Structure 1
Amino acid sequence: MRSDVLIVGAGPTGLVLALWLTRLGVNVQIIDKAAAPGTTSRALAVQARTLELYQQLELADTLVAGGVHGSGVNLWARGEKVAHLPIANIGEDLTPFPFMLVFPQDQHERVLIERLAAAGVRVQREVELLDFSEQSDHVLARLRHADGSEHSVEATYIAGCDGARSQVRQQIGSGFPGGTYPQVFYVADVEVSSPALGGEVHIDLDEADFLAVFPLAGAHHARLVGTVRGERAERAENLGFDDVSDQAIKHLHLVVDKVHWFSTYRVHHRVTEHFRHGRAFLLGDAAHIHSPVGGQGMNTGIGDAINLAWKLASVVRGCAPDRLLDSYEAERIGFARKLVHTTDRVFSLVSAEGRWADLVRTRLAPTLVGVLSRSATARAFLFGTVSQLNLNYRGSALSQGAAGHVHGGDRLPWAVAGYEDNFASLAQLDWQVHVYGAAQPGLIDFCKGFGVALQQFDWQPEYQAAGLVQNVVYLLRPDTYVALVDPTSNWETLDRYFSARGLKPLERRHA
């Protein structure tokens, strides 16, 4: 059996990679050693940038319809609400999805599996990667099935989406430096009777165990994410819900009526040394893992998958040289390191013990949140950071030029003028050019001859407000990030960009 890409691991990262590659015409095989998808969820938040990218495959509306829009974050101390950060429509001028969506990972995976099956790809369950070797033009992987039988498969590339204990990572010998938090994390799916959660997140800041409460669909359905520490953490394997400190639960005035399920896990803060080794790639938890603070983990893995998918498709289909794949590590590893560092510092703050730590957490933090809640600029920056709208690839070899506030490597600013949404064309999953104003005749001819789609938008004030500049050429990558910003609007600049990197559109288009 031969495939273009063998994907090891069928969590959200592996499923998204398989789905994008399949849509881009790449033959994939996806395996997972688990007998069935998970039924418990650690990841809950789906950030705005993920939903924007999901629009490319018409996935966003399905998740939005089934999830809860987080409308605010409440901080509690000593049994009282001490700060409130409103986040409902906090980014309404920035994105079509100006909210944090709460949509549990198990439901999320089911949506992806169903969409992948509709595209003709089935996850091969109870199949374990034993090892693989790299040949001149492919990898040869040895797999084991539930009945103990083994067979080998060939693939042009292999993608390790197989979690913190990644067999792919171990095989390529990439280190996984970092550490493990002393606390044990737990997640519980519960029914509660208490003052209405109101679609908001509630976090207890007292010196008791850390606890965050996330609203789920249903008036009294919620997910608790918390920690246990000290002596209880040493017997993590035998912990039950009754072992969780009820002090934090009482601080939030929660009455837990029913526990649907309860699960514990250890959390690490690590980033692997390499995201690529020859024909092997690491994505998601196989490449980076950190505390759940900020709801970044699953979204970052999905970002890895979409970043790599279009590059693999370009190389497999002869539209780019193999060196394009080096940009995957270059673009993603720096963000992963920064994210792990940031979430580690925040979690260390909220979980630290001692008099001064308690003072910072219960007095200083609420004051800071109060200041943020009164500043529109601060709220927008915070939303842009947590939602990953601010993530950019400005330092990438694929990024070039600038005009106004937009640089090569930035996410394309979102703007709606009248009935025209400039994100509508992004579903093409290919290179395209945007011009807000008038495109020069030479540019029109080049785009038509080269086979890259050209989108022209009549200049409107809304585009200027979004940070776009009139008549400038914006070349967009298949993952909707800006590759080239050319204020001269000269077709030759576009030609040189593609020629210098050996790139071609994935599909030949005719304007």
Structure 2
Amino acid sequence: MSKPDVLIVGAGPTGLVLALWLTAQGIPVRIIDKKSEPGSTSRALAVQARTLELYRQLDLADAVVAAGTRNPAVNLWIGGKRRVHVTFGQIGGELTPYPYVLIYPQDMHERLLAERLATMGVSVERETELTSFTQEGDHIIAQLRRANGDEKTCEACFLAGCDGAGSLVRHLLGTGFEGGTYDQTFYVADVAAHGRAVNGEVHVAFERSDFVALFSYGEGGRARLVGAIRDERESAETLTFEDIGHRAIESLGLTIDKVNWFSTYRVHHRVASHYRTGRAFLVGDAAHVHSPVGGQGMNTGIGDAINLAWKLAAVLKRKAPESLLDSYEAERLPFARRLVATTDRVFSFVTTEGPIADFIRMNIVPAIAGLGSEVGGVRRFLFRTVSQLGISYPHSPLSAGRAGDIKGGDRMPWVRWAGGDNFAALGAIAWQVHVYGEARGELSDWCRKSKVPLNDYPWRPEHADAGLERDAAYLVRPDGYVGLADSGGRASSISGYFAERGLSA
């Protein structure tokens, strides 16, 4: 094949999304994976609202939503009694077009992404393994090996390691991967079940020394169960579904009709010391792994891929200096560290054993959770956190200014009105300017001459509700985050932003 601009190692969701976004921007890619086919089982289930918003930019969201199962609410059960019930639509309906958790198992998700990539003319090269690579000035040279032993050389401008927690790319770079492994063994089971909790919602149940989370998807009462294995007396590899504790499962009133598959695993919490070394990048699980609390792992990897994709495209098209690529690590590494710290605390709370921990889980947590579920601000904060709508880059070199409640580095807030919304414009995957009210004539002239799309929306009360300022200019990045918020709506502010960073649209 012709020389790719980017060699992507690993065809999980992260690698596939990176390939999709680069291909959509006209960047030649090559994506390889040492496995012969996508996995048939998976632990990653949840597709969060922010991921779906980004998928909408490639007209992919509708297909993913149609294939998955919307879980519109979460329930907390303590000792067989439902203590908290929160509907996502009540707290997220004004924040995103996707106010729910979409349950779409990773194996199915991968197949859909690979099929979409194939329609764009790129196929995954399976049974093809990276064995080594070197960086040679303005390109990398990678050694690849096929299953039959044939070895080939691939030359590319950049290399992206999307090859999971055991990343060979990270190992070859010598990048640190600090953290550790939790003592507890977890299980995941794909089951067909019936009972009161098989109602299309998320359920988390605590019993003394036991807990389980249930996620519904598909037809016929199909669901995934995730829990911890207590009092492990034999190796995890030999355990079966019958060996695990069933108190929490029974407290949900579940009857398991069939176990389709069952797997155990250990949970790691690690973050790479660097995401970029020269022309090589770490993306997704190759850069960070953490507990499954909140369904953040796969979504974080997808967010990494999209953050990196538009920056690579800008550099390869000579619309930005290579220093732009440093902002990938500057933005995504601090977020990964915060995420690991947060999920670590929650994970430790969930899994700590002993009478004191049981008392807190069974008595104190229900009271706090019940109170929090009634407070609108708390509910919105939790939804924004879990859905990843709250991710922002306030300290990024690409973030500047403030207008209304919106600062540079914030996600552009979603605003809907009769007949449309402001996210429809983001499908361009390009720099663009948003004005809510009336754009200055000089700004309109500059956007036209600079070929930067100007989206000028008549002022509505909904804009004020979203924290936007009337007549201000918001320079929106290709990934939907605000680069510059300028209260004065001035063309000079926008042009100065591009000039200071060596960028062009």
TM bucket normalised to smaller? over 0.9
- Following superposition, the deviation at residue 279 of structure 1 comes to 0.5
Alignment match, 1:308: 308
The answer to whether the 8 Å contact 2:6/2:29 transfers is yes
Letter in 2 for 1:474: Y
Superposed CA deviations along residues 178-219 of structure 1, whole A, max 9, x for unmatched, are 010111222111111222522111212123343111111224
Distance 1:471 1:88 in 2: 30
Alignment match, 2:79: 78
Superposed CA deviations along residues 306-338 of structure 1, whole A, max 9, x for unmatched, are 000000000011110000000000000000000
Superposed CA deviations along residues 148-175 of structure 1, whole A, max 9, x for unmatched, are 1111100100001000000000011111
Letter in 2 for 1:499: A
The answer to whether the 8 Å contact 1:207/1:353 transfers is no
Letter in 2 for 1:152: T
The answer to whether the 8 Å contact 1:85/1:369 transfers is no
- Following superposition, the deviation at residue 264 of structure 1 comes to 1.8
Distance 1:436 1:77 in 2: 47
Indicate the RMSD between aligned Cα atoms, in angstroms. Answer: 1.2
Alignment match, 1:160: 161
Distance 2:165 2:211 in 1: 23
- Following superposition, the deviation at residue 41 of structure 1 comes to 1.7
Alignment match, 1:412: 412
Alignment match, 1:51: 52
- Following superposition, the deviation at residue 420 of structure 1 comes to 3.2
Superposed CA deviations along residues 329-351 of structure 1, whole A, max 9, x for unmatched, are 00000000000010010010011
- Following superposition, the deviation at residue 487 of structure 1 comes to 1.2
Distance 2:489 2:246 in 1: 63
Superposed CA deviations along residues 470-509 of structure 1, whole A, max 9, x for unmatched, are 110000000010000111222111111111111111xxxx
- Following superposition, the deviation at residue 359 of structure 1 comes to 1.0
Alignment match, 1:508: none
SS in 2 for 1:183: strand
SS in 2 for 1:467: coil
Alignment match, 1:398: 398
Alignment match, 1:297: 297
Distance 1:441 1:337 in 2: 44
- Following superposition, the deviation at residue 238 of structure 1 comes to 1.8
Alignment match, 2:125: 124
Letter in 1 for 2:445: D
Runs of 4+ in 1 over 4 A off after TM superposition: none
Is 1:449 equivalent to 2:449 in the alignment? yes
SS in 1 for 2:400: coil
The answer to whether the 8 Å contact 1:30/1:123 transfers is yes
- Following superposition, the deviation at residue 127 of structure 1 comes to 0.8
SS in 1 for 2:384: helix
SS in 2 for 1:57: coil
Letter in 2 for 1:374: E
- Following superposition, the deviation at residue 89 of structure 1 comes to 4.3
Distance 2:368 2:232 in 1: 33
SS in 2 for 1:224: strand
Superposed CA deviations along residues 210-242 of structure 1, whole A, max 9, x for unmatched, are 31111112241111111214434x511222222
- Following superposition, the deviation at residue 418 of structure 1 comes to 2.7
Distance 1:311 1:420 in 2: 29
Alignment of 1:84-483 (within 5 A): 84-232=85-233, 235-483=235-483
The answer to whether the 8 Å contact 1:33/1:126 transfers is yes
- Following superposition, the deviation at residue 125 of structure 1 comes to 0.4
- Following superposition, the deviation at residue 54 of structure 1 comes to 0.6
TM-score norm. by structure 1 comes to 0.97
Letter in 2 for 1:170: H
SS in 2 for 1:2: coil
Distance 2:72 2:491 in 1: 45
Alignment match, 1:509: none
Superposed CA deviations along residues 24-80 of structure 1, whole A, max 9, x for unmatched, are 110000001111001112111111111110100111111212222222222223233
- Following superposition, the deviation at residue 253 of structure 1 comes to 1.8
The answer to whether the 8 Å contact 2:476/2:483 transfers is yes
Distance 1:457 1:91 in 2: 23
- Following superposition, the deviation at residue 358 of structure 1 comes to 0.5
Distance 2:87 2:120 in 1: 39
Letter in 1 for 2:397: A
Letter in 1 for 2:424: A
Distance 1:73 1:94 in 2: 18
- Following superposition, the deviation at residue 81 of structure 1 comes to 2.4
User: What residue ranges of structure 2 are gaps of 5+ in the alignment?
Assistant: none
Distance 1:262 1:360 in 2: 30
Query: How many percent of aligned residue pairs carry the same amino acid?
Result: 57
Alignment of 1:3-22 (within 5 A): 3-22=4-23
Superposed CA deviations along residues 380-425 of structure 1, whole A, max 9, x for unmatched, are 1110111111110111000000011100000001112332311110
- Following superposition, the deviation at residue 85 of structure 1 comes to 2.7
Aligned length: 504
Distance 1:248 1:115 in 2: 39
Distance 1:77 1:89 in 2: 23
The answer to whether the 8 Å contact 1:90/1:99 transfers is no
- Following superposition, the deviation at residue 377 of structure 1 comes to 1.7
SS in 1 for 2:82: strand
The answer to whether the 8 Å contact 1:194/1:253 transfers is yes
The answer to whether the 8 Å contact 1:208/1:248 transfers is no
Distance 1:89 1:12, change over 3 A: farther
Distance 1:163 1:307 in 2: 18
Distance 2:444 2:73 in 1: 46
Distance 1:414 1:229 in 2: 44
SS in 1 for 2:468: coil
